[in-house]
């Protein structure tokens, strides 16, 4: 009599990476509910983002007021503002764009020229998993507006939009904020995805992400939420428990191709993904980020832009760090079924 397998190895269609679904020690969704101590954010009086300019930050690059999608009439009536990062990882100080590669013995280096911006929302503690539909729409609209400006900078090869919520997700400041970083190189993780999707298209004549979207919509078992233009699902090869990806249903390689209606529906999909995580898992820390084709014309039509949402439910240990193979103790099918049932107000 055959014994039941204690795990499954699943191979990612795009990267070729393997991950482990530890079915033999699988947890029920409720076991991931966070039993966290109450997190005390820094007092408003000491928060660098509560009153950004009074705290020594530069004037905003973009401001949205409450209940609107443009600049408020009163200086203090803002809902979000985008400011230059006071301590940037990349800056516009350098010799020229794009920066030339230089040598130091056998090594290559270039100046860290680019842009590093912070998008701050007004409420001191209410993060995106608890925001209204209109509020998340304004955040996503601001992402798009700044993206469209930064992509015209000669230093920009790739624009990264990401959000860290909570200490375990890398948020050094508790006040809710996102970051928008324009850099002069294509990051390794994106580069691997580009190579994988290009290879699949070359061998099969089809976008690998479109294939996955069609399959997920047909099966339904890993779909968490969808609207007219976007689908949210737990990927078949989930790197961590309750991972979700948000794809436009119709093929688009570049984030800048999104329409105004698309921005609204992307915000709806992102809000539902984050709210379901917040309600269903007891307000865990999380990261989300954009993956898009780089800022080049016509070279990456095989790609399919998307957002990835990663709740922080586990910590990597020796096996993961030593092999690069991640272990998840819940199947994406069970995770998606649990999240689908979570009602979002």
Q: What is the pLDDT of residues 119-163, one digit of tens each?
A: 999 999 999 999 999 999 999 999 999 999 999 988 889 999 999
**Count of domains in the chain?**
2
* Count of Cβ atoms closer than 10 Å to residue 200 Cβ: 19
In a domain, 39, yes or no: no
CA–CA distance from 242 to each of 15, 107, 183 (Å)?
20, 39, 30
In a domain, 1, yes or no: no
Domain at 195, CATH number? 3.30.428.10
Q: Which domain holds residue 144?
A: 50-183
148 and 215 both lie in a single domain: no
CA–CA distance from 125 to each of 7, 28, 179, 237 (Å)?
39, 30, 17, 33
Question: Which of 183, 201, 218 lies at the terminal end of a domain, its last residue?
Answer: 183
CA distance 286 to 276: 12
Q: What average pLDDT score do residues 309-330 get?
A: 75
Scanning the structure block, which residue is given the tokens 């507006």?
145
| Radius of gyration of the chain measured on its C-alpha atoms | 21
177 and 195 both lie in a single domain: no
CA distance 305 to 147: 14
Is the pLDDT reported for residue 267 higher than 50? yes
- 2 band by pLDDT with thresholds 50, 70 and 90: very low
- 1 band by pLDDT with thresholds 50, 70 and 90: very low
- Paired with 308 in beta bridges are 245, 289
Question: Which of 167, 183, 199 lies at the terminal end of a domain, its last residue?
Answer: 183
Structure token digits, residue 253: 């390689």
Question: Residue 31's pLDDT is what?
Answer: 62
Question: Residue 316's pLDDT is what?
Answer: 65
In a domain, 67, yes or no: yes
Cβ-Cβ contacts under 8 Å for 341 (sequence gap 6 or more): none
Is the pLDDT reported for residue 53 higher than 80? yes
- 113 band by pLDDT with thresholds 50, 70 and 90: confident
Q: 3-class SS at 93?
A: coil
In a domain, 157, yes or no: yes
Q: What average pLDDT score do residues 290-316 get?
A: 89
Structure token digits, residue 32: 């991931």
Dihedral (Cα; 126, 136, 236, 220), 10-degree rounding: 120
Is 89 in contact with 97 (CB distance < 8 Å)?
A: no
Question: Which of 136, 161, 183 lies at the terminal end of a domain, its last residue?
Answer: 183
Which of 82, 226, 72, 56 is CA-nearest to residue 144? Answer: 82
Give the phi and the psi of residue 29 in degrees, each rounded to 5: -55, -40
* Count of Cβ atoms closer than 10 Å to residue 287 Cβ: 18
Is the pLDDT reported for residue 322 higher than 80? no
């Amino acid at each position: 009599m055959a014994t039941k397998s204690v795990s499954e190895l699943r191979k990612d269609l795009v990267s070729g990476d393997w991950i482990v679904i530890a079915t033999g020690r699988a947890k029920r969704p409720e076991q991931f509910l966070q039993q966290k101590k109450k997190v005390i954010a820094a007092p408003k009086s000491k928060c660098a983002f509560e009153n950004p300019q009074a705290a020594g930050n530069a004037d905003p690059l973009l401001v949205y007021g409450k209940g609107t999608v443009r600049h408020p009439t009163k200086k203090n009536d803002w809902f979000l503002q985008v400011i230059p990062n006071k301590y940037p990882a990349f800056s516009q100080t350098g010799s020229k764009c794009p920066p030339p590669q230089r040598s130091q013995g056998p090594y290559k280096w270039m100046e860290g020229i680019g842009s590093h911006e912070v998008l701050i929302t007004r409420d001191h503690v209410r993060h995106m998993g608890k925001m209204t539909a209109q509020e998340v729409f304004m955040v996503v609209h601001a992402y798009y507006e700044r993206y469209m400006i930064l992509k015209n900078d000669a230093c920009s090869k790739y624009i990264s939009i990401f959000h860290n919520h909570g200490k375990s997700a890398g948020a050094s400041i508790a006040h809710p904020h996102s970051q928008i970083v324009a850099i002069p190189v294509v990051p390794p993780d994106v580069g691997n995805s580009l190579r994988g999707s290009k290879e699949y298209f070359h061998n099969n004549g089809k976008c690998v992400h479109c294939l996955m979207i069609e399959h997920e919509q047909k099966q339904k078992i890993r779909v968490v939420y969808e609207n007219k233009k976007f689908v949210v699902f737990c990927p078949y090869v989930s790197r961590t428990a309750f991972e979700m990806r948000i794809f436009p249903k119709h093929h688009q390689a570049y984030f800048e191709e999104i329409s105004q209606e698309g921005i609204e529906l992307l915000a709806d999909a992102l809000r539902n993904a984050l709210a379901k995580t917040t309600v269903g898992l007891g307000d865990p820390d999380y990261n989300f980020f954009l993956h898009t084709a780089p800022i080049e014309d016509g070279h990456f039509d095989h790609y399919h832009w998307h957002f990835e949402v990663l709740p922080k439910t586990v910590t990597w240990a020796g096996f993961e760090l030593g092999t690069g193979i991640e272990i998840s103790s819940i199947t994406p099918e069970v995770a998606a079924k649990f999240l689908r049932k979570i009602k979002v107000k």
